[in-house]
Amino acid sequence: AADSAMYHAKTLGKNNVQFYSIGLNEVVRQHLLLEAGLRNAIRNGELALGYQPKVDLRTGHVVGAEALVRWNHPDEGLIGPDRFIPIAEETGLIVPLGDWVIMQACTTLQVLAALGIADFVISVNLSPRQLRQRQFVEHLAATLQHFHIHPSTLELEVTESQLMDNPADALEALAQLKHLGVRLSIDDFGTGYSSLSYLQKFPVDVIKIDRSFLGDIAGEGNAVITRAIIALGHNLKLEVIAEGVETREQLSFLRDHDCDQMQGYYFSPAVPRDILRNMVCSGLRMAV
């Protein structure tokens, strides 16, 4: 990898050789460092799962949460998933990492169920490589059984672009997962050029409006797109959730246009399991 970085640097032109080769080598060095560390991160207990609450826009109740992974790196501090999920995906480490995430999420569902909270939904993000893994569905079935999890309380989020990469294969994988009874969600919807005919065939329960559309919700373009996605979802009998809600204005717009749920810093970032449990058990409600 270091050689190819040098190669690219050289092709950029004589004057740029040194500047770019240092830049790229640094990127490669960081990458290798993270890759080596990631191999031990799970074993060393360096990964942590945060839970970002999802709020029902009619009642204001916290009805679910998305599990988001973090890496507490011994030297680098807290690292976000955007920096290490791609490396995990490339190296295949996403498989054990993804298993760990699902086991943690199941443990949290178990904790809530023991407190009498039976219908709370936790979602986890799936990487393409996990979805393609042969044993994935079987393995998930065994995990659900082991933790006594009601399948409809676990939701799997798959991005729209991931599905559209190979829609025929995705359709088959989703059908098998749906057969287990888990909920399925299309993440980052609106950014991945969905074929509408596939959208209708995918056995999904939820579409998640990408947060890029909420940026300037008062601006004509995004308001029109957001309303169209909500209508499309509802016409297909799907629930619609918006991610990345940061302001009262966005919240009001979504509520006024019948979006079902919201998730975002306006209500809460991802929090540790104990805090999520307290939020849910105290019956915390958001003013909607």
What's the closest the beta carbon of residue 212 comes to Mg ion, in angstroms?
A: 8
Q: Which stretch binds ligand C2E (CB under 6 A): 17-25, 27-35, 148-156, 237-245?
A: 237-245
Q: Which of 9, 93, 131, 187 binds ligand C2E (CB under 6 A)?
A: 187
**Contact flag: residue 264 with ligand C2E (CB under 6 A):** yes
Out of ligand C2E, Mg ion, none, what residue 101 binds, judged by CB under 5 to 8 A for its kind, is ligand C2E
DSSP string of 194-214, one letter each residue:
--HHHHHHS--SEEEE-GGGT
CB 97 within 8 A of CB 69: yes
**Contact flag: residue 127 with ligand C2E (CB under 6 A):** yes
Binding site for Mg ion (CB under 5 A): 125, 157, 187-188, 243
Q: Which of 60, 81, 86, 96 binds ligand C2E (CB under 6 A)?
A: 81
Q: Which residues of 47-77 are buried (b: 16+ CB within 10 A; e: fewer)?
A: bebbbbbbbbbeeebbbbbbbbbbbebeeee
Out of Mg ion, ligand C2E, none, what residue 68 binds, judged by CB under 5 to 8 A for its kind, is ligand C2E
What's the closest the beta carbon of residue 21 comes to ligand C2E, in angstroms?
A: 30
Burial of 81 per CB tally in 10 Å (0-12, 13-18, 19+): middle
Between residues 9 and 156, which has the closer beta carbon with respect to ligand C2E?
A: 156
Please work out the total of residues on this chain that contact ligand C2E, with binding judged by CB under 6 A.
Answer: 24
**Contact flag: residue 46 with ligand C2E (CB under 6 A):** no
DSSP string of 236-288, one letter each residue:
TT-EEEE----SHHHHHHHHHTT--EE-STTT---B-HHHHHHHHHTT-B---
Cα–Cα nearest to 254, from 214, 221, 219, 215: 214
Between residues 68 and 230, which has the closer beta carbon with respect to ligand C2E?
A: 68
What's the closest the beta carbon of residue 15 comes to ligand C2E, in angstroms?
A: 37
CA–CA dist 198, 48 (Å, integer): 35
What's the closest the beta carbon of residue 79 comes to ligand C2E, in angstroms?
A: 10
**Dihedral of CA 47/82/206/215: which sign?**
positive
Instruction: Give the footprint of ligand C2E on this chain (CB under 6 A).
Output: 52, 68-69, 80-82, 85, 98, 101, 124-127, 157, 187-188, 211, 243-246, 264-265, 270
